[in-house]
Structures are given as C-alpha cells and as structure tokens.
Structure 1
Amino acid sequence: MTGTLDLDEFITLLREEIGLPVTAEDAGRELTEIAGWDSVHLIAFLSALERATGRQVSLVAALQASTVEQLHAATAGQA
C-alpha cells in the first residue's frame, strides 16, 4: 500500500497496528477518549503509517490533532 489512505483504511491500519478497538464510529472521538490511547501509540502508529504509505508524516501536525479524523487529515497533508 502506498500513497494516501482513505479514512476507513486509516482506521483499519490503526486498529491492526496498535491493537486498540477503533472503528469508523470513533472517527470524531477525542483521541484521549479511546481506551488505552497514549503518546507511545501515536509514535508507533505514525511509524506504521509511514511504512504503509511510503510517505513521511509530520509529527508536529499529528500532535495538533485531537480526534481520529483530525489525525487522518493531518497525516494526509490536509490539515
């Protein structure tokens, strides 16, 4: 997989790589409301996202995101 992931692919990758029970229904939830989410998960996920897409991800943009949707937009270069 290379390029940009749509939101469903992004959530699937998040669930599979981090092992947290995230679904499309969680897209608008605050990251802090997702059971088990922490900064270590963010770094691990960004690394997996870079491997999956072949693109570098801005840590600064990712840190500004507060929801799954915002994280997706930020890492897709849309934020």
Structure 2
Amino acid sequence: MKSVDDLITLIQDELGLPITEADANVGFDQVPGWDSVHLLWLLTALERESGRRLSLAAILEAPSLQAVFDLTVAP
C-alpha cells in the first residue's frame, strides 16, 4: 500500500462503501456507511495486504482513515 488512495480503493472494492479521498481526513462518524465492524475488517485486510501485524489498540485509537494509513506504513 503506497498511498491513502490505495486504502480508499481497498475499502471501496472490498466493502462497497461510497468513500472518496476527501473522507480520509474526517472522523469515522462522518465516513458514509462506516461502523465499528468495518474497522475490525480493515485491520484484518491491512494485515493481509502488508504482511505484518498491526496494533489493534493503535487502530482503535486512530481518529481517521488517514491515521490508519499512517499506522500501516509506519516503520
């Protein structure tokens, strides 16, 4: 995953949610169709895509999709 656009595409393709890059920096409560189950799905998908384990606690504390992306690509 090289950009937040890749994350948006993953969510669009796998969940069918009508989100755009503009939704990356808003709170999860403002992302169209988003619920807490989607965040758990996203964690699993990101671990699969990145090939590494991610911190559930950090993902749960992330305020936006951009923050989730940043956690995913952090060294």
How far apart are 1:7 and its partner, in Å? 1.2
TM-score when scaled to structure 1? 0.80
What residue number does 1:58 align with? 55
The CA RMSD over aligned residues, in Å, is 1.6
Q: What do the CA deviations read for 1:55-79 (whole angstroms, capped 9, x no partner)?
A: 111111111111111111123237x
TM-score when scaled to structure 2? 0.84
How many residue pairs align between the two structures? 75
Q: Are the counterparts in 2 of residues 15 and 22 from structure 1 also a CA contact under 8 Å?
A: yes
Structure 2: runs of 5 or more not aligned: none
What residue number does 1:9 align with? 6
Higher helix share: 2
Percent sequence identity is 41
Distance in 1 between the 2:73 and 2:23 partners? 18
